[in-house]
Structure 1
Amino acid sequence: MPEKKTEPWTMASMDELLALARAMEQEAIDGYVSLAARMRAENRPDLAAVFERLIAEEREHIGKVDQWLGSRAPEPITLAKPLFDDEGAGVVAPELLTSYRAFSIAVRNEERAFVFWTYAAAHAPSEEIRQAAERMAREELSHVATLRRERRMAFHEMRRADSDSRKGDLPAFEERLSKLLSRVPAPAFGERAERLRGFANEALERASALRVVPPAETLLLQHVPKNVTGRIVPLCEFLLDCYLDLAERGRTDSVRARMQTLASEVIRCLYAAREQ
């Protein structure tokens, strides 16, 4: 099986793009299969069932790629560096794992795939490949939305008494995110800090736009967890949930597109923040 030697997001042809898309989905399936087997061996059928659901989800994704392939059968390829990350779930004590954490792993892997395809689109050598990569990015954003709903359900099943029912305000949360991003010390993180400051400006722009044209209501803002505004990552997570929920509930294409655009921007910020 040939190994991809170029930058992972640089596609030389449509065949390479489709082969890589399939390889990424298969990589996720293999990871979840391993985790499911371990959970069964550790007598955790509850978590094995969660990973089995994730396997089924990824197999559905492969089915979509195969439909796109049609009669084409490109040679399988592998990345020099795997994109799937089980975040230690394969070695951590099973008592420390929860369904919430399992879905969190899946969410982050789908977000990573989304960022991958946005880079692929930006570096596409042709219009055909750019459009295909953008389509893959849209598919991954849909997967992110589905898995984040599953994760919210898992969270509510195990939620503790560390949340209150105060109402939230999206523009205020975006302004808070901008402040947190601006406080990242430049000497400590250099170029990464500059990138986060760029995201800080984007957050202010979102806040301003949301005040001019307020979005619809989302129930997520009726029950805001404590300390969600204390750090960049949890605040990004919460904002992303809100935008994806609003996109799902949007009554017009323009509303859904607007919320998906905001969600895309927050995912990129979230991805960068996690690299700190």
Structure 2
Amino acid sequence: MNRAAQPSPMPLTLEEFMAQALAMEREAVDRYSDFADMLETHNNQEVADLFRTMAGYEAKHAQQIMQEMGWTQPPPPPPGMPHTMPGMEAPEAMPLDEVHYLMQPWHALQLALAAEKRAQSFFAVLARMATTDAVRRAALELQAEEAGHVALVQEWLDKVPAPDQDWAVDPDPPRYTD
């Protein structure tokens, strides 16, 4: 079976792998930015700022990939990669329905921690499945970077108090009229 007829779920070249990694980073930037926008709309500036900071980190990672690969324009992600298929998202993307307008920094960091852990695991699997040394090395490097992100988010989380049990109680909830 030729590759054109059946896309491979595993990047076969370093360029394919890095295009996939870049797409994942850019999707994470978009998702964090969407969350920041949503929370700004609900006047939750503290958490919105935290999500903007996370978006900035992901944007830096995307820029690093572009520079390392010598790309001036982002290439399209290889077809058949997990997050290019319908219903699949990049491991670092967080579900939109996980954001609550009264969430606190602790909640945002929990979401970020889970996303970074998923990305770390994703790259570990790709490293094990890699069919070339170049892809394996790149996957291991990105796995190590994600481990650093996990540690960073965990450090932030250790400094943030857990919310009270009644954190979602709104004394002035939104009212809808027809």
The two structures have a TM-score, normalised by structure 2, of 0.76
Q: Would you tell me which structure has more helix in proportion to its own residues?
A: 1
Equivalent of residue 82 in structure 1, options 89, 95, 110: 89
CA contact (8 A) 2:94 2:115 kept: yes
Q: Deviations over 1:151-190 (max 9, x none)?
A: 11123xx477xxxxxxxxxxxxxxxxxxxxxxxxxxxxxx
How far apart, CA to CA, are the structure 2 residues paired with 1:75 and 1:52?
A: 25
Match of 1:236 in 2: none
Shift of 1:71: 4.4
Structure 1 residues 150 and 140: alpha-carbon distance in aligned structure 2, compared to 1, 3 A threshold? same
* Distance in 1 of aligned mates of 2:132 and 2:68: 18
Aligned partner of 2:114 in structure 1 is: 108
Question: Residue in 2 aligned with 1:146?
Answer: 152
Q: Structure 2: which 5+ residue stretches go unaligned?
A: 1-5, 78-82, 165-178
Q: Relative to structure 2, which stretch is displaced further, 73-82 or 58-67?
A: 73-82
Cα distance in 2 between the residues matched to 1:110 and 1:133? 15
Higher alpha-carbon Rg: 1
Moved over 6 A (4+): none
The answer to whether the Cα contact below 8 Å between 1:15 and 1:74 also exists between their aligned partners in 2 is: no
Which runs of structure 2 are paired with 1:103-182 in the superposition (5 Å)? 103-155=109-161, 158=162
Report the Cα distance in structure 1 between the residues aligned to 2:21 and 2:157, rounded to whole angstroms: 24
Provide closer, same or farther for how the CA distance between residues 49 and 74 of structure 1 changes in structure 2, counting only shifts above 3 A. closer
Gap change, CA 1:37 and 1:5, over 3 Å in 2: farther
Structure 1 residue runs of 5 or longer lacking an equivalent are 161-276
Residues paired across the two proteins, number: 150
Q: What TM-score does the superposition give when structure 1 sets the normalisation length?
A: 0.50
RCO comparison, higher one (Cα < 8 Å, 6+): 2
Letter in structure 2 aligned against 1:115: S
Q: Is the 8 A contact 1:104 1:151 kept in 2?
A: yes
Q: Aligned-pair distance for 1:37?
A: 0.6
Q: Does 1:37 align with 2:37?
A: yes
Evaluate the alpha carbon distance shift between residue 22 and residue 73 of structure 1 in structure 2; reply closer, same or farther with a 3 A threshold: same
8 Å contact kept, 1:19–1:75: yes
**Counterpart amino acid of 2:98?**
A
Letter in 1 for 2:32: Y
Letter in 2 for 1:82: E
Measure how far apart 1:13 and its partner are. 0.8
One-letter amino acid matched to 1:100 = W
Displacement of 1:100 after TM fit?
Answer: 0.6
